[in-house]
Amino acid sequence: MSGIVEGRVVIVTGAARGIGRGHALEFARQGAKVVVNDLGAEVDGTGSSGAAAEVVAEIEAMGGQAVVNGEDVSDFDGAERLVRAAVDHFGGLDVLVNNAGILRDRMLVNMTAEEWDAVIKVHLRGTFAPLRHAAAYWRNKAKAGERVDARIINTTSSSGIYGNPGQGNYGAAKAGIAGLTIIAARELERYGVTVNAIAPAALTRMTESLMPAGATGADPDDIAPLVVWLSSAEARGITGRVFNVRAGKISVAEGWHAGPEADKGSRWDPAELGAVIPALVEKAAPNALTNGRIPGRED
């Protein structure tokens, strides 16, 4: 196997099905050695299966190298074992793709604490824990004088960066991942590590319940090319960015930034703000729609 990530060692979490499976297979096609991490759970995080082994078998059938890993990425020690498994099995680690996730959709007035905690744990803690251990591994290499050219690609969502009713837990976790991506990029750049995120749109087990009956969605395999490119040597100068990706369409998500401003030069009296805040909001661009477009600027 040869390609744009030839010889690089890659961990893909949540790699047994859907978008993660597409990542793992494309990495293998492009010459990477892949750790296929997955608990094999259902969409809500329950149950288990041998789907990760099937992905490894597909990779091996095409002449690639891969190994199954069943660690729970939201378990701090398990995430450390995941990183160590890549190093022990393939001799190092070059790329971490944080993709694992579950859904427990519910309107806020009906959401339980358990539904909130489960989603936050898998998505947000499940991104932080592998990222933290991978970052420590690369920092130690850099401090030892070794050259590091490593990549982290996190998975956020339009639900987190633009907002989607019924997904308060999922959206909060994904917004946190977007913020973590930017912070990690700034912290790890000195060690030779880039950190980016994708907000993918595709029809998978996780999204099919959100689609109208009979609707078709983008192929989850179409997300992988961007992720693989971001993991390559060519992407060395790209860090701290979030990319929207659906089928053949890629855009850069532009995050929060300061807009219209009023500065009195001293402490405001609350009674004064009635003549100030509405005017600022009127001047400001409206929040993006769920598809990321500003109302009135959809083209």
Q: Torsion angle of alpha carbons 222, 228, 234, 237, nearest 10°?
A: 90
How distant, in Å, are the alpha carbons of 43, 44, 149, 198, 239 from that of 205? 7, 10, 34, 18, 30
48 a catalytic residue: no
* Active-site position among 121, 159, 162, 170: 170
* Active-site position among 74, 157, 158, 232: 157
- Nearest-angstrom CA–CA distance, 173 and 194: 21
Residue 148 near residue 95, CB atoms below 8 Å: no
Task: Please classify residue 142 by burial: count the beta carbons closer than 10 Å to its beta carbon, then call 0-12 exposed, 13-18 middle and 19+ buried.
Answer: middle
- Nearest-angstrom CA–CA distance, 134 and 149: 13
Nearest to 60 by CA among 24, 101, 19: 24
126-143 and 76-90 helices cross at what angle (nearest 10)? 50
249 a catalytic residue: no
Q: What angle do CA 152, 156, 161 make, to 5 degrees?
A: 135
170 a catalytic residue: yes
Catalytic (active-site) positions: 157, 170, 174
